[in-house]
Every structure is written in structure tokens, then in C-alpha cells.
Amino acid sequence: MRRERGTPRDDWEKTIEGQGLAYHRAAHPEGLSRPYWDESVHYAFSMAEVESLEEQVEELHGMCLSAAEHVVAAGRLADFAIPEWAAADVARSWERRDPHLYARFDLRYDGTGPAKLLEYNADTPTSLLESSVVQWFWLKDTHPGDDQWNSIHERLIDRWRELPLPPGPTHFAWTNRDESGEEAMTLAYLQETAEQAGRQTVAVAMEDIGWDALNRRFVDVEERMIRSAFKLYPWEWMLAEPFGRHAVRHGTWIEPLWKALLSNKALLAVLWELFPGHPNLLPAYLDGPRDLTSYIAKPLLGREGASMRIVTPSGGQETPGSYGQEGYVFQGFEALPDFDGQRPVLGAWMIADEAAGLGIRETTGLITDDTSSFVPHRIEQS
């Protein structure tokens, strides 16, 4: 694993916007000098490294499924801040194995040892378009003889064909809370992959979904019944809203309700309980840092690195935010590796239950937040 510099393509902004990354200018807070998409650098991997990472990621995914089984069987949903009224529905969703589409692991990896799990974005992961499409075309334009850990697009199409969805169109729902356009473009891309798989689709704003109380069903603005829906709207938000009581029992949602367990950082502590000392895990606890001298406190339902606190013998660091009311997990802290002053996080993608690709974000800070930049990667061909 190496970080290498290169010359950006002529008119690269126009190129990536034409590939769907129209939100790259709005993806960053104002005032940053570095662009969100930065192809002036990239990471190079050997095929052996990638094959090893694939094995590690699939093993981690299997461990996460075992953790979900344990949580349901032991009745530990309160540890995940699941509302008491929804606990049985989450359990039933898991017991039915409601179909799922995709997820993203965030990993610490420096090329010299096993990857370490930082968190699992298993409900509403983003940076998909960058990982699947945009960096693939970068590779073809700049290093056509090399390869990339990237079968995301093909696997998404295959997965849409496999999903046992009810008849009729699948609705794709975004939220009007999205101001950058990232969510809308991610939804449009996923909708396109579903259509390429032969699915009929309809776009709808989450705020425009209505509840037909007489017929006990969800409908769109044209009164069409919503039998299945893909959403980039977290389950914890849905469960906190009035219609959430209907959503857990009506319609097929992707991602399914049981993903509320895997997208919650309490998962990190359960994994450490079930697989103590596993080389891909960092120690993590729900009841405090215990004997950890360096740790990071993460809100169970936090996003974009907000409301986190790092504690080390040499000092600490906090990020602003309003998360944490639901509780924290305390995870052993290992600083992200330093490559030329930048600290990468590897985002390893799962499509269904198979590892499918890699996206990399990097920042100068110890916590990856909304100031990070996405950089492409390649696999060197020997």
C-alpha cells in the first residue's frame, strides 16, 4: 500500500460531474482548499493485499451476522437504543432474514498488518457513486493496464435481480434534508442499477410518502401503493417518527429493519465480547473505557465523525455535534496511519454477503469527518 501523486486529468471536474458526481463542490464545508474528489493522489495496492483484505472483510461480515443473532437471541436490543415498542419487530425482521442490499465497513489499515474495524455502515452508507463508477473511469483513463478492487456496479445489478421483492415498482426515497445533492445522486445511481436489472422503479421524497389508514398501506403522491422501497433514511430516524410504527410492519424496506443492529456502534462492543482478541477488532465496551488508556468514545448513532471524544495519555480531542443521547461505545484508539501527512480510512463495500470493492477517504485529522477527501486507488499488475 503506497500513496502516490499524479496529474489530474484535463477538465476533471466536468468529467466527474458527467459521471454523476455533481455534488462534489457541495460535499465539503465552505473554505476548504482541497477538493472533495482529489485525483492528484491515489493509493496503490498489490493483488495479494487486496485478496487478503477481501478475506478479512467477509470474515468480519460473518462475525457481524453472528453478533446480530446473539443480540436477538439474548434479547439485548435495549443496548442498541432500540425503542421497546420496536424490539420485537427488529427481532422478527432478523428471524425472517429480510433481504438486504449493501453495506460499507470503515477500516484502519496501513499495509503492514490486519485491518482494524472502526465501524460498520450497514443501513445508509454513502460514497457509493465515487467508489463504484467515478474511480473506475479514473483508472481506465490514467492506468488502463492496472486493476481495481471494484465489482460494485455489476454486483449491485446481480443483487437487484436476486432480491425477493413483492410485485410492482420499487420506490427510491430520498429526503429533503439533503442539501448537498449527494443523497439524490446516490439514489439516482442505485435506481439506475435496479432498472438495469429489470426492475420497475419510482422516485419519491421521503417526506411525500403517505399513510393510507383505511387500507393500511403506504402510498406515494399519486396514491400508488408502496410495496417495496429503497431508502437513504436511517432506521433510527424512522423509529423516532410517528409513521415508524407503521413502517416496521408494512412494506418491504431496503435496507431491512434488522440492519438497525449492524449500523449501530454498540455492535463494536458485542463483537469484542463474542470474539475477544480477534486481529480485526479493537477492544470496545458499552459500560465505559475499563482498562483502556487510549480510547475513543463514539455515540451509538453518530454520523460523519460528530460528537466523538479521543482520550490518550498525551491529551485528548473532541468533535462538535448533537449526538450521544442514546449512549456511547468506548473503543480502543489507534491513530489512523500517516501517509504524507494524510490519514486514510478504507471503506470496504459489501454487496449482499460478498466483498465487492474499496473507496478511500483521507484527512489530516484523527477523526474522519465531512472535511475528508475521496481519493481513488489501483491494483498494480505485476
Confidence of residue 28 (pLDDT cuts 50, 70, 90): confident
pLDDT at residue 370, rounded to an integer: 82
pTM recorded for the entire structure: 0.96
Q: Judge whether residue 25 has pLDDT over 90.
A: no
pLDDT at residue 19, rounded to an integer: 96
Segment 347-356, tens digit of pLDDT: 999 999 999 9
pLDDT at residue 26, rounded to an integer: 76
**If you write DSSP's letter for every residue of 281-319 in order, what string do you get?**
---EESS--TT-SSEEEEETT--TTTT-EEEETTEEEE-
Q: Judge whether residue 23 has pLDDT over 90.
A: no
pLDDT at residue 179, rounded to an integer: 76
Q: Which amino acid is at 5?
A: R
Q: Judge whether residue 371 has pLDDT over 90.
A: no
Segment 149-183, tens digit of pLDDT: 999 999 999 999 999 999 999 999 988 887 788 88
Q: CA–CA separation, 185 vs 156, rounded Å?
A: 16
Closest CA to 97 of 353, 326, 271, 379: 353
Q: Judge whether residue 37 has pLDDT over 90.
A: yes
Dihedrals φ, ψ of 79, to 5°?
-65, -20
Cβ neighbours of 264 (radius 10 Å): 27
Confidence of residue 70 (pLDDT cuts 50, 70, 90): very high
Segment 93-109, tens digit of pLDDT: 999 999 999 999 999 99
* Mean pLDDT, rounded, for 219-235: 96
pLDDT at residue 63, rounded to an integer: 98
Q: Judge whether residue 382 has pLDDT over 90.
A: no
Q: Judge whether residue 27 has pLDDT over 80.
A: no
pLDDT at residue 361, rounded to an integer: 97
Go through 173-200 and write b for each residue having 16 or more CB atoms within 10 A of its CB, e for each that does not.
Answer: bbbeebebbbbbbbbbbbbbbbeebebe
* Mean pLDDT, rounded, for 36-55: 97
* Mean pLDDT, rounded, for 204-214: 95
Segment 269-280, tens digit of pLDDT: 999 999 999 999
Confidence of residue 5 (pLDDT cuts 50, 70, 90): very high
Q: Is 344 helix (H, G, I), strand (E, B) or coil?
A: strand
pLDDT at residue 297, rounded to an integer: 97
Confirm if 232 and 187 have CB atoms less than 8 A apart.
yes
pLDDT at residue 304, rounded to an integer: 86
Segment 295-313, tens digit of pLDDT: 999 999 998 899 999 999 9
Segment 118-141, tens digit of pLDDT: 999 999 998 999 999 999 999 999
